[in-house]
């Protein structure tokens, strides 16, 4: 059997195993799908074993493939660890990763960021930059941050996004409100009452989405107050007819002030937390951190807590 495989070949096989499709694996390693397919075939000829069963648009490891990938991953890890250790020893280098986090996300997102360890980057320094979701998108586009955790970003071809958590908006009101006995509410139900709503500058996309849904119901929202934070609820919800929009992270605060908090059930109005990076970012550090973050978040299985300010 030929032993002329390179680290790049091992990385291609591991990428195909992790991504599951030739299209995604090719994008990850920076080659065309055709080139990737041909290279995988060449690797299989060299190891004299079929590593993948091809499916419609995908690839599934064979038994020999599982054994090969297991060893390949160890070799890749050892190679990059040795390379980075040598570089860090030579330059005394401390790698920095700049991550933007929405100011309205709860602490468990930041806790997950700080819990991540990358063996290849022993001297990694994490710099957290807080801001609103629109501000963080601008920071990404200006390359002021490498990754960002934002709420419901608008589509942008310059960005790559991955939704990692989804949550309902929460609606709050006083205990004397006519909806007080409800365990959840619909948009039609809350349109019968005046709103305390969040300012458009907080999140233009979600603000407009909600009002467009109101128009689709052929109704009009009666917005009597605008606000920016859940702590304003006590002052703004000053009678039993008002309802307020709140982010899930603010439920505990609102409940401690004596308000009832229930989810808004609407298939179109959701809050999504996305992990976002530049589409043209080829940094191995950013890629490795993003994959490890997603894996850690999934393993924690924390109830999704997303945030926007109340209004």
Predicted local distance difference test score (pLDDT) of residue 309: 45
pTM, two decimal places? 0.63
- The reply to whether 60 and 181 lie within a common domain is no
Residue 51 lies in a domain: yes
Q: Please say which residue of 90, 113, 143 terminates a domain.
A: 90
Residue 160 and residue 295 share a domain? yes
At residue 89, the pLDDT reads 56
Q: Are residues 52 and 121 in the same domain?
A: no
Last-in-domain residue among 40, 60, 90: 90
| 145 plus 286 within the same structural domain | yes
Side-chain half-sphere CA neighbours of 26 within 13 A: 16
CATH, residue 185: 3.40.190.10
* The pLDDT of residue 94: 53
pLDDT in tens, 90-127: 554 557 899 999 877 877 888 999 999 888 787 788 99
- Number of domains composing the chain: 3
Residues 115 and 246 in one domain: no
Domain check: are 151 and 183 in the same one? no
281 shares its domain with 145: yes
Query: CA 123 to CA 94: how far, in whole Å?
Result: 5
Domain membership of residue 257 (yes or no) is: yes
Domain membership flag for residue 306: no
CATH of the domain at 51: 1.10.10.10
DSSP code of 231?
A: G
CA–CA distance, 309 with 170 (Å, rounded to integer)? 11
Q: For position 249, what pLDDT does the model report?
A: 76
Residues 201 and 257 in one domain: yes
Q: Is residue 54 in a domain?
A: yes
Is 309 a domain residue?
no
pLDDT for 245 equals 92
310 falls within a domain: no
Whether 138 and 23 share a structural domain: no
Same domain, 173 and 203: yes
Asked if residue 78 and residue 102 are part of one domain, the reply reads no
Its domain, for residue 281, covers 94-166+271-300
**What DSSP state is assigned to residue 143?**
T
Helical segments of 130-283, H only: 133-141, 187-190, 204-216, 233-236, 251-256
Query: Which residue positions in the chain have pLDDT lower than 70?
Result: 1-3, 57, 81, 84-94, 228-234, 301-311
How far apart, in whole angstroms, are the C-alpha atoms of residue 230 and residue 234? Answer: 9
In a domain, 311, yes or no: no
Among 265, 253, 268, 275, which Cα is nearest to 168's? 265
pLDDT at 241: 94
Interatomic CA distance for residues 73 and 79, integer angstroms: 10
Cα 63 off chain centre by: 33
Q: 159 with 283, same domain?
A: yes
Supply the mean pLDDT for the chain. 86
* 307: in domain: no
């Amino acid at each position: 059997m030929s032993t002329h495989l390179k680290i790049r070949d091992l990385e291609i096989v591991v990428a195909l195993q992790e991504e599951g499709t030739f299209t995604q694996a090719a994008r990850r390693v920076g080659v065309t799908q055709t080139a990737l397919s041909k290279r995988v075939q060449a690797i299989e000829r060299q190891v004299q074993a079929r590593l993948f069963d091809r499916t419609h648009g995908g690839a599934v490891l064979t038994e020999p493939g599982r054994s090969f990938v297991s060893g390949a991953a160890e070799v890749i890890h050892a190679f990059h660890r040795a390379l980075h250790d040598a570089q860090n020893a030579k330059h005394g280098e401390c790698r920095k990763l700049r991550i933007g986090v929405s100011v309205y996300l709860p602490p468990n997102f930041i806790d997950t960021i700080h819990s991540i360890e990358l063996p290849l980057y022993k001297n990694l320094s994490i710099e957290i930059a807080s801001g609103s979701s629109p501000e963080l998108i601008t920071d990404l586009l200006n390359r002021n941050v490498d990754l960002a955790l934002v709420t419901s970003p608008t589509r942008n071809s310059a960005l790559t996004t991955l939704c990692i958590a989804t949550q309902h908006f929460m609606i709050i009101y006083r205990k004397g409100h006519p909806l007080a006995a409800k365990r959840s509410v619909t948009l039609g139900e809350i349109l019968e009452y005046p709103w305390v709503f969040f300012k458009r500058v907080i999140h233009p996309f979600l603000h407009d989405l909600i009002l467009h849904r109101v128009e689709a119901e052929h109704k009009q929202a009666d917005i009597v107050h605008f606000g920016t934070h859940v702590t304003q609820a006590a002052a703004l919800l000053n009678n039993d007819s008002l309802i307020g929009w709140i982010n899930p992270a603010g439920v505990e605060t609102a409940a401690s002030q004596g308000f009832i908090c229930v989810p808004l059930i609407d298939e179109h109005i959701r809050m999504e937390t996305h992990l976002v990076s530049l589409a043209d970012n080829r940094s191995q550090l950013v890629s490795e951190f993003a994959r490890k973050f997603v894996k850690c978040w999934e393993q924690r299985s924390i109830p999704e807590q997303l945030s926007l300010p109340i209004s």
